[in-house]
Amino acid sequence: MKIGILTSGGDCPGINATIRGVSKTAIQHFGMEVYGIHSGFQGLLEKDVERFTEKSMSGLLHLGGTVLGTSREKPFKKKKGSDEEDKPALIAQNVNELGLDCLVCIGGNGTQKTAYKLSAMGLNVVSVPKTIDNDVWGTDYSFGFDSAVTIATEAIDRLHSTASSHNRVMVIEVMGHKAGWIALFSGMAGGGDVILLPEFNYDMGHVCDTILERARKGKPYSIVVVAEGIKTDGGGHAGEYIARTIEQQTGIESRETVLGYVQRGGSPTPFDRNLSTRMGGHATELIVNGEYGRMVTLKGSNISSIPLAEVSGKLNLVTPDHDLVVQGKRMGICFG
CB count, 10 Å around CB of 298? 19
Closest CA to 152 of 127, 114, 126, 180: 180
Cα separation, 256 vs 242, in Å, equals: 8
Can you give the pLDDT at residue 312? Answer: 87
Per-residue pLDDT of the chain (336 residues; tens, 9 = 90+): 999 999 999 999 999 999 999 999 999 999 999 999 999 999 999 999 999 999 999 999 999 999 999 998 999 987 765 656 799 999 999 999 999 999 999 999 999 999 999 999 999 999 999 999 999 999 999 999 999 999 999 999 999 998 989 899 999 999 999 999 999 999 999 999 999 999 999 999 999 999 999 999 999 899 999 999 999 987 779 999 999 999 999 999 999 999 999 999 999 999 999 999 999 999 999 999 999 999 999 999 999 999 999 998 899 999 999 999 999 999 999 999
Q: Do the Cβ atoms of 42 and 71 come closer than 8 Å? A: yes
Beta strands in 49-149 (DSSP E): 49-52, 102-107, 125-129
> Are the CB atoms for 238 and 226 separated by under 8 Å?
yes
CA distance 97 to 91: 10
**What's residue 81's pLDDT?**
59
Q: Which residues contact 124 (CB under 8 A, 6 or more apart)?
A: 101, 102, 103, 287, 292, 293
43: Cα separation from own chain's centroid: 22
Q: Residue 164 in contact with residue 191, Cβ under 8 Å?
A: no
Residues catalogued as catalytic: 133
Neighbouring residues of 19: CB distance < 8 A, sequence distance ≥ 6 = 5, 7, 36, 57, 60, 66, 67, 68, 106, 280
pLDDT at position 66: 95
User: What is the model's pLDDT at position 82?
Assistant: 61
Q: Half-sphere exposure of 2 toward its Cβ, with a 13 Å CA cutoff?
A: 11
